[in-house]
Amino acid sequence: MKSAKSFLLTFFALLTLPLTAHAQFTVFDPTNYANALDEFAQLKQTYTTALQTRDQIISTYNLAFQMSRMPQNLAQRYKSDFSQWTNLNAPNTYGNTSAWIDALNLGSPALATSAYNSAVIQPQSYPTDALTGLDASSQAIVRNQYASSELGQASLTSSLSTVGAVRSASEAFSQKLQNLEADTYSTSPDQQTEMAVLGKINAATLLQIHSQQDTNQILAASVAQQALQEKQRLDEQNRLINQAVYFHQNFPTTMQQVAGGVSTSIHAISLSPNGK
């Protein structure tokens, strides 16, 4: 009886042995394990890259934020006031001054011409018959003087128109400079972005170019006036040279005529009491 019981126990143990062994051991796949390691390495690299990118973004943002902030005392340290163009004023006792003042304050060819006509003595036309009755040298001198007067009118009216135009535009130009100055010293982040700063640099360059253009126009008007003065100086110098040349060319003949006239007069004078 005891042996039968032992046999049954051994039989059931053998029946359950494969099931127990199957439940305790797992089949190992090295390929899946290698893929899992690769995926883990990739995830680790992605995480590291994400951290580096985050740090770069934070650093860039901090730099941009720092660059967008202006020093609070920049305007107090560097802002300066400059002289402004002012309109001219003058008495108008006889009514011929206001046109000149208007030309200097407003500037236009018409105002400049009106100023010249009202405030400058106008030359009268030289009589044609009187001019043709002069010798060639005298005619050249008269024509030369008229040319100097007409060139002087052109130079003077151009200078009045140029200076008046610059003075007239000075108020608007000054306002633009004030706007640019206010934006430059502004502590607002909107005014300190890269594009805002580049825009202000371009605006400042354009204002400088326009200002230089006005300066060049004034210098050109001044040079034209100097050229007229040089012409007048050369005219006077050449006139003196021509007079000297004429004197040397005609001195002997003139002296002979004078001497002959004196001799004739002396011989014509009678010292005799009878007039003979």
pLDDT of residue 3: 53
Q: Is 213 helix (H, G, I), strand (E, B) or coil?
A: helix
Q: Locate the domains of the chain by residue range.
A: 136-267
More confident residue, 133 or 228: 133
Pairwise CA distance, residues 215 & 37, whole Å:
77
Beta carbons of 148 and 235 less than 8 angstroms apart? yes
What's the start-to-end Cα distance of the chain, in Å? Answer: 217
Chain segment 261-272, per-residue pLDDT in tens: 555 555 555 545
Chain segment 152-169, per-residue pLDDT in tens: 889 889 989 998 988 888
pLDDT of residue 56: 92
Pairwise CA distance, residues 9 & 32, whole Å:
42
Q: Is 270 helix (H, G, I), strand (E, B) or coil?
A: coil
User: Does the pLDDT of residue 2 top 60, yes or no?
Assistant: no
Radius of gyration for the chain, computed over Cα atoms and rounded to the nearest angstrom: 53
Pairwise CA distance, residues 33 & 39, whole Å:
10
Pairwise CA distance, residues 51 & 209, whole Å:
50
Residue 20: which pLDDT band, with cuts at 50, 70 and 90?
A: very low
Residue 8: which pLDDT band, with cuts at 50, 70 and 90?
A: very low
Distance, C-alpha 13 to centroid of its chain:
108
Q: Is 81 helix (H, G, I), strand (E, B) or coil?
A: coil
The candidate with the shortest Cα–Cα distance to 159, out of 231, 109, 120, 119, is 109
